Amino acid sequence: MPIMTFAEALRNALYIEMKKDPKVILLGEDIGVLGNVFGVTKGFLDEFGCKRVRSTPISEAAITGAAIGAAMLGMHPVAEIMYVDFTTMAMDQIINQAAKMRYMSAGKVKVPMVLRTQGGAGSGEAAQHCQSLESLFIHVPGLKVVMPSNPYDAKGLLLSAIRDENPVIFIEHKLLYPIKGEVPEEEYTIPLGKAEIKKEGNDLTIVATSYMLQKVLNTLPVLDNEGIYPEVIDPRTLSPLDTETIFQSIQKTHHLLVVQESSAPASFAAELLAVVSENLFDYLDAPPRRLCGLSVPIPYNKKLEDASIPNEKDIINIIKDIL
């Protein structure tokens, strides 16, 4: 099976869908000649032309608004916002327009668009380019929120997102782009709203999102040596959330840890702990816990940035504390 980076897997998915469906168009800053900051759309301008690959002015509101309008007229736009931090400039378009149109028109108007963006810290780009804002979007009914953790899932989830009839916020952690993995050349999809058990175990259920999933997997050899066998779940889609897979795991392990890079207040982890406490309280042998980023703006200083994000040592320590 071919080996692809996370960025190459995304590019492969876009290429497949652009070749297959003439209604798929791309919009975003520097996606044409430059081919996106990480090369995800490199060569697409020559292959598909400027009518389908549109480099836009620096206006996130205009990019998102144009994508919504195109989607309402039957196209399948994939809009790119260079950093998730910049989606705040397009919140009216995302929250008040894209998420609402299908409901307010009684299903007569659909908005089948994908908004790709990259988030997360670790690159030294500081407070305005390294945030984790997924929790803003899972709060909004009408949006689907996807956060892949590896190249295989990135391709399958992006193809599903493009073919979905609803607006999908597709958030890619910037540290994942160079990560390599096996990715089939042929077309395949991964259903939105379906979690995956990355590693089976009986001692503890760990739900980890995006790049944090990679850090949790890094701790497994250490935990194995100490006789600790967690079950690791990647939700892949944060909204809608596959609670069935998570609940079944907790009923087996009787413990829960949620690991995310975002800060804790009003976050995905906070919501999952609330849902589990409401529905599985009698199954828990200990309080459900969360390991999150610190509630601070992401620092520019490398040591401070590292200190603000959960690492492998933090994960191991909290697991031992829970058990």
Residues forming the active site: 60, 129
Burial of 245 (0-12, 13-18, 19+ CB in 10 A): middle
Tokens (6 digits) for 198: 């990355």
Element (H, E) at 79: strand 76-81
Tokens (6 digits) for 45: 């301008």
Residue in 292, 116, 100, 103 with CA at minimum distance from that of residue 208: 292
Cα separation, 39 vs 30, whole angstroms: 10
Which residues, listed in sequence order, are joined to residue 117 by a DSSP beta bridge? 81, 171
Cα separation, 157 vs 14, whole angstroms: 11
Tokens (6 digits) for 119: 């988030």
Which residues, listed in sequence order, are joined to residue 3 by a DSSP beta bridge? 182
The alpha-helical segments, DSSP class H, found in 50-192 are 60-72, 91, 101-104, 134-138, 151-163
Percentages helix, strand, coil for the chain (3-state, rounded to 5) are 40, 20, 40
Q: Are strands 24-28 and 53-55 parallel, antiparallel or unpaired?
A: parallel
Residue in 307, 176, 180, 178 with CA at minimum distance from that of residue 236: 176
**What b/e sequence results for 256-282 when a residue is b if at least 16 CB atoms lie within 10 Å of its CB, and e otherwise?**
bbbbbbbbbeebbbbbbbeebeeebee
Largest CA distance in the chain: 59
